Amino acid sequence: MKLKKNLLLFACLTCLVITQIEAQLLNKKINFTHADTLRGSNGPGRAWWDVIKYDLHVKFNIEDSTISGWNEISFKALKKGNILQIDLQEPLVLDSFKLHVETDYTKGRNWAATLKDFPKKDGNAYIFNLPSIENFKSTKYYLTVFYHGKPTIAKRPPWDGGLIWTKDKSNSPWVSIACQGLGSSVWYPCKDIQSDEPESAEMHITCPDTLVCVGNGHLQGKTINSDGTATYDWAVVNPINNYCLIPYIGKYVHFGEIFKGEKGDLTMDYWVLDSNLEKAKKQFQDAPRMMKAFEYWFGPYPFYADGYKLVDAPHLGMEHQSATAYGNGYQNGYHGTDLSGSGWGMKWDFIIVHESGHEWFANNITTKDIADMWVHEGFTNYSETLFTEYYYGKEAGTAYVMGTRKRIKNDIPIIGPYGVNEEGSGDMYYKGGNMLHTIRQVINNDELFRKILHGLNKTFYHQTVTTKQIEDYISQQSKINFSKVFDQYLRTTQIPTLEYKLEGYKLQYRYTTCVNGFRLPLKINFKGARWIKPTEAWQTLHLYPEGNNEFSIDPNFYINTKKVD
C-alpha cells in the first residue's frame, strides 16, 4: 500500500511539473480593456519616440520588501509629438521627474524643459504632456523618473511574476525578479513594450554590503556606502528586452571560463550561491556544450560584447540576456523529468539548453508583439532537438521532438490577439517545434535548413520583428511557399488529416481539416519511399501491382492520417 501511495504521489508531482512547463506567462483573456490596449499597443504615447538607453538606479530594501530610485530614459524623436507614456505598475508610485535636452549646439544637457503639470495617471501608465518635440536628428532627450514603493510580489515565478524576496538554504536573503509577460514596469519605469528595446542599459543596484548583486553584461564597479550598503554597477552595450534587464541579489560566488567561439574569445561566467559552488562546477559543463552546438546551428552567440552568464535564481529559469536565470536543481532533464519521454531529455540540463537557446530566439530576434511569441518559444523548443541531434545523432533528435507531441493541446491558436499584451496557446512550444521539424522535412536539405537558421540570426540581428518577416524569410530562402503551412499550424487548432484509400496497386489521397490552399508535400512509403503532393481534392497514384501494398507516412511530419473506404 505504501508503494502504491508513493507511486500516486510521484504521478501527481509529475503532472504538476508538466502543467507548470506548459503554463503561460499571462492568464488567457476573452475580453480586453483599455488598460490592455494601453499596455500592449504602440499607441500615441509611444509611437513617436525611440528609447536609446536606460540608466537605472535602484535600492533594494530587504527588511520591508520595498525599492526606490530612478530611471534616466534617454530617447530620440522619430516624429513630432508631445504625449509620452511611461509605464509603472501599481503599487509603485512615481514621485517626480525632470526632462533635459541635449543638442549638438548646446554640447551638453544645459537646459531643461518646463513641465507644467504632473503626468496624468491612467492605471499602470503615466501620461506626460510635454512641450512639442521635433524630430531633430541632433537632439537627444533625457526623462528622469523618480519612484518608490512595494512592488508586486511573484506568486509562482516565473509564470506568475514579480519581485522574489526569499532566503537561501543558509537563511541569507535572496532576491530577484521574473517579469516576462507581466512587464518590467513591475519594478522600474520604462516604455514597457517589446517593439522598442534600449540600445544599451546600465543598472546601479544598491543592496546590503553583505550580499552580492549580479546583473546583465559586465560588472563596471562596486561602491561601498557608509550606511551598510553597496552599489553594484552593471552595463550592457547591446540592445536588450525590457523584461531581460534583471538583478540577482544573494550570497553569490563566481567562477568562469573562456569559450573559443566563432567570433573569438567569449567570457562565460557563472554566479552561484556559495553553497552550490561544487555542484555548479560539474553541472555547468553543459554550458560550453550548448554554446558549441548552438553556434553550429544558429551562428555566433549574439552578445559577445556582453558575455554569457548563468546565475543561480530563486525560480526555475528565464532567458535574461547575458545573465540566464538557472533554477533546475543541478540535475539533468526538466527538474529531473524528460519532457519528451524518449529518454534523450535526461542526457542534458533542460534549463541550460532551453533558456540559453533564447539568446538567439527571443533576445537576438525579438517579436514586436507578445502575440507572436511562437518565434521565441517554437524555435527555442526546437533548439532542444537540435542540441540532442548534435551530440547524440539524428535519430535521437527525431525521437525527442516526436516525443513532445503528446503535450500538444490544440486548445487555441498559437498566435494570440495583437495589441493587447496577450500571447496565444502554450502550444507555441511543442507544436511550434514540431511545425519547424515538419518544415525541415519538406526542405529536405539539412545544410540549407541550417543556413536558414544562420540567416535568420544574421538578417534580423538585434532586431524586433513580426511573425510575417520570419515566415516570409523561410519561404524565400527555401524557395518553398510555406504561407499556408504557417496559417495551418499557427492560426488554427486543426491538425491536417490525410485521408487515403487503398485498392490494390492504387492509392487515393487528399487533405481534410486544413486551411484552403494547404499544400504540404509528404514523404510516404507505398511500394517504396516516395513523395506525394496532396491537396484538398482526391488524387490517385497508380503503381505496378507487384510488391507490398502497405501504406505509411514518414512520422517526422506532424499530421494525422485516416484510412477511408
| Radius of gyration from C-alpha coordinates of the chain | 26
Last residue of a domain, one of 491, 523, 547: 491
What is the bridge-based pairing of β-strands 248-250 and 212-214?
antiparallel
Instruction: Please indicate, yes or no, whether residues 123 and 149 belong to a single structural domain of this protein.
Output: yes
Instruction: Please indicate, yes or no, whether residues 246 and 112 belong to a single structural domain of this protein.
Output: yes
> Is residue 18 domain-resident?
no
Instruction: Please indicate, yes or no, whether residues 481 and 403 belong to a single structural domain of this protein.
Output: yes
> Is residue 85 domain-resident?
yes
Last residue of a domain, one of 491, 510, 531: 491
Q: Are 209 and 227 in contact (CB under 8 A)?
A: no
> Is residue 29 domain-resident?
no
Q: State residue 104's pLDDT score.
A: 65
Q: Give CA–CA dist 85/46, Å, rounded.
A: 6
> Residue 126's closest CA among 36, 45, 56, 238?
45
Q: State residue 6's pLDDT score.
A: 43
Instruction: Please indicate, yes or no, whether residues 89 and 178 belong to a single structural domain of this protein.
Output: yes
Q: Are 206 and 225 in contact (CB under 8 A)?
A: yes
Cell of 57: 538606479
Residues of 308-330 as b/e, b for ≥16 C-beta within 10 angstroms? bbbbbbbbbbbbbbbbbbbbbeb
> Residue 513's closest CA among 471, 452, 559, 564?
559
Position 255, amino acid = F
Instruction: Please indicate, yes or no, whether residues 348 and 382 belong to a single structural domain of this protein.
Output: yes
Q: State residue 113's pLDDT score.
A: 61
Q: State residue 14's pLDDT score.
A: 44
> Is residue 7 domain-resident?
no
- Domain span at residue 511 reads 497-563
Q: Give CA–CA dist 162/154, Å, rounded.
A: 4
Q: Give CA–CA dist 390/383, Å, rounded.
A: 10
Instruction: Please indicate, yes or no, whether residues 265 and 353 belong to a single structural domain of this protein.
Output: no
CATH of residue 510's domain is 2.60.40
> Is residue 9 domain-resident?
no
Last residue of a domain, one of 455, 471, 491: 491
Q: State residue 409's pLDDT score.
A: 97
Distance of CA 448 to the CA centre of its chain: 25
Position 63, amino acid = E
Q: Give CA–CA dist 494/291, Å, rounded.
A: 36
Give the total number of structural domains in the chain: 3
Beta strands (DSSP E) in 179-323 are 200-208, 212-214, 218-224, 229-236, 248-250, 252-261, 264-273, 308-312, 317-318
CATH of residue 465's domain is 1.10.390.10
Position 81, amino acid = G
> Is residue 35 domain-resident?
no
Instruction: Please indicate, yes or no, whether residues 232 and 345 belong to a single structural domain of this protein.
Output: no
Residue 374 region by backbone torsions, left for phi larger than 0, else alpha for psi between -120 and 50, else beta: alpha
Q: Give CA–CA dist 358/35, Å, rounded.
A: 29
> Is residue 359 domain-resident?
yes
CATH of residue 184's domain is 2.60.40.1730
Instruction: Please indicate, yes or no, whether residues 384 and 516 belong to a single structural domain of this protein.
Output: no
Q: What is the pTM of this model?
A: 0.93
Q: Give CA–CA dist 320/243, Å, rounded.
A: 8
Q: State residue 111's pLDDT score.
A: 56
> Is residue 70 domain-resident?
yes
Q: State residue 510's pLDDT score.
A: 98
Instruction: Please indicate, yes or no, whether residues 227 and 256 belong to a single structural domain of this protein.
Output: yes
Instruction: Please indicate, yes or no, whether residues 88 and 152 belong to a single structural domain of this protein.
Output: yes
Instruction: Please indicate, yes or no, whether residues 487 and 346 belong to a single structural domain of this protein.
Output: yes
What is the bridge-based pairing of β-strands 66-77 and 140-149?
antiparallel
Cell of 317: 529559469
Name residue 500's beta-bridge partners. 509, 563
pLDDT averaged over consecutive 10-residue blocks of the chain (565 residues)?
Answer: 39 44 51 96 97 98 98 95 96 94 67 73 95 76 96 95 97 98 97 98 98 98 98 98 98 98 98 98 98 98 98 98 98 97 98 98 98 98 98 98 98 97 97 98 98 98 98 98 98 98 90 98 92 97 73 96 94
Instruction: Please indicate, yes or no, whether residues 344 and 476 belong to a single structural domain of this protein.
Output: yes
Cell of 323: 545573465
